[in-house]
Chain A
Amino acid sequence: MIPVLEARALEKSYILPRASWLERRARIEAVKDVSLAVAAGETLGIVGESGSGKSTVARLLMALEKPDSGAVLWQGEDVTALSPRQLRARRHGIQMVFQDPYGSLDPRMRILDTVAEPLDVAEPDLASAERRARVASMLERVGLNADVLTRYPHQFSGGQRQRIAIARALVTRPRILVADEPASALDVSIQAQILNLLSDLKAEFGLAMVFISHDLGIVRYLSDRMMVMQHGVVVEEGETERVFTAPAHPYTRALIAAMPKLVT
């Protein structure tokens, strides 16, 4: 069976602006030789400390950035080779939830238009009543009522904003969702709500998911398989339970040892 999402030998480096004319430009290899595959309905967890390249992988998977080399395949099709127009036409099938709900919603746009944006591109001829109805029903599904439609992001809390961001990501019924630390910017009390919501939606819509986190406990709770990243490299990969019970790489063992234990 073809994976719904695949990455082959991704490489990505960034050239930093130099601090002075005399300096050489520093180069950061953010992602080195990363390959992965996600089957339909499956959740792949990616863990790693801050700066290990997780968000860069997410942006590459979303084709928001071009890899220096390697390929990204959506439903078996190499999207690094597509024209911008062809790429845009396929975007409704893969969506993303960002880490910071304060940065991922346009402050000047009504919630209705923000959530409808992927729909507007995918189905530009949709009647406005139908458009509104679809947005409202998706907002309802994530736990918000229709009176939010005409409001603006600054009127909502972080948790509510993340719900809005999730509604936008799912409004076109994508098969793949990339969630980049969707709860880590939120209050601890809100985190569980958002994670449970994602877990429910995953089951309900049969989503394949790439779930990124620096919290191993959350990854264990949500993913079927997991990858551990360090300095842009995948150091371990496998069934989630196998990785937790028999970690092969020293770095994985260190991460697991550092996990907070439940005090009983």
Chain B
Amino acid sequence: MIHRALRHPSFVVGLAITLMVLLIAILAVFWTPHDPTAIRISARLRPPSATNWLGTDQFGRDVFSMLILGARNALLVGIVAVGIGLSIGVALGMVAATGEGSLLDEGIMRVCDFTFAFPAVLTAILILTFLGPGLVNAIIAIGIFNIPVFARIARGAALQVMARDYIRAARAAGRSTPGILARHVLPNITGILIVQASVQFALAILAEAGLSYLGIGTQPPNPSWGRMLNDSQTFLAQAPTLALFPGAAIALAVLGFNMLGDGLRDVLDPKSLER
């Protein structure tokens, strides 16, 4: 399987980009070349140079430092929001699948359908108007709209698995329903969930950028790619690179996770595992 994975171009490229973003984000936790919040009006809108690798913004802050700290925030949003969606969504999906056709199943699925009727970012904006703006609340909002995505995927995949004879064999062996879910169903739907998680991760990063761009996500002075993009607009004529870097960062990270998900879909395909 590892051999096949390493020959899969979009998996390899996606993994490389993802790992790079991850390493940069980890690095930013411990070290940034400059204090990304330090304002130096004397050094406003500097072009890229040896001291400020990617230049400075309208307050003289170091763009490179902001960018890598922004990577940390983007990943934080992705990890926690997808984590929320994954844990709650998968639990709900498996409960629904276990009681297929029951009132509980119908209830869970109707609520999921209901949330799908609203565009995700609009829902997040709505949630943030209730919770108030901020990074933590943005994570919660993005996490909430991840729940039905995973609930529906988990339910569908679990239903497929539960129709197999090895589930009957486990029941004949005396396993309880929770035991079967934990030992047989969950391991057999993990591949599908991982693929979806990487896609949702890309969407979460995009959503955080979008919310911060609108000013209701990550709050200053905590840097965010979305807000950097917004701030740069005013100075597009004087400092075009100011928009280029956060834009490229968003595009690259989203692309990386999407390619990783795409590659994993092929690599983890249960059909290619069989025989």
Contact = CB atoms under 8 A, between A and B. Distances in A.
Please indicate whether A and B come from the same complex rather than being unrelated chains: yes
Interface of A: 59, 62, 64, 84, 88-89, 91-92, 94-96, 98-100, 102-109, 117-118, 120-122, 154, 165, 168
Given A84-B176, A121-B175, A154 B169 contact: no
Contacts of B168: 59, 62, 64, 96, 98, 104
Nearest to A104: B165
B3 interface: no
Which of A59, A88, A94 has the most chain B CB atoms closer than 10 A to its own CB?
A88
B173 A118 contact: yes
Given A117-B170, A154-B273, A154-B275, A103 B175 contact: no
B7 interface: no
Given A91-B173, A96-B169, A168-B169, 10 more contacts: A89-B174, A103-B165, A106-B166, A106-B170, A106-B184, A106-B188, A108-B188, A109-B183, A117-B170, A121-B174
Interface in B150-177: 164-166, 168-176
A88 B174 contact: yes
Contacts, number: 71
Nearest to A103: B165
Contacts of B172: 62, 64, 91, 94-96, 118
Interface string B235-275: 00000000000000000000000000000000000100111
Nearest to B175: A121
Contacts of B173: 91, 95, 117-118, 120-121, 168
Nearest to B169: A104
A121 B180 CA distance: 12
Contacts of B184: 106, 108-109
B166 A104 contact: yes
Contacts of B119: none
Chain B contact surface mostly:
helix
Contacts of A62: 168, 172
A92 B165 contact: no
B164 A103 contact: yes
Given A98-B169, A100-B165, A165-B169, A107 B270 contact: yes
7 interchain residue pairs of minimum CB distance: A121-B174, A118-B173, A104-B165, A91-B174, A103-B165, A108-B187, A117-B173
24 contacts: A64-B171, A64-B172, A84-B176, A88-B175, A89-B174, A91-B173, A95-B172, A96-B168, A96-B172, A98-B169, A102-B274, A103-B164, A104-B164, A106-B166, A106-B184, A107-B273, A117-B173, A118-B174, A120-B173, A121-B173, A121-B174, A154-B274, A165-B169, A168-B173
A81 to B, nearest CB: 18
A105 B275 CA distance: 13
Contacts of B275: 154
Contacts of B176: 84, 88
A122 B174 contact: yes
A102 B166 CA distance: 9
Interface in B183-235: 183-184, 187-188
A117 B274 contact: no
A152 B228 CA distance: 50
Nearest to B270: A107
B214 to A, nearest CB: 42
A102 B275 CA distance: 10
A103 B170 CA distance: 12
A64 B168 CA distance: 7
A63 to B, nearest CB: 9
A95 B187 CA distance: 24
B274 A107 contact: yes
B235 to A, nearest CB: 54
A103 B174 contact: no
B67 to A, nearest CB: 41
Which of A104, A106, A121, A165 has the most chain B CB atoms closer than 10 A to its own CB?
A106
Nearest to A102: B274
A120 B171 CA distance: 13
A103 B166 contact: yes
Contacts of A168: 169, 173
Nearest to A155: B275
Contacts of B169: 96, 98, 104-105, 117, 165, 168
A76 B187 CA distance: 38
A168 B171 CA distance: 13
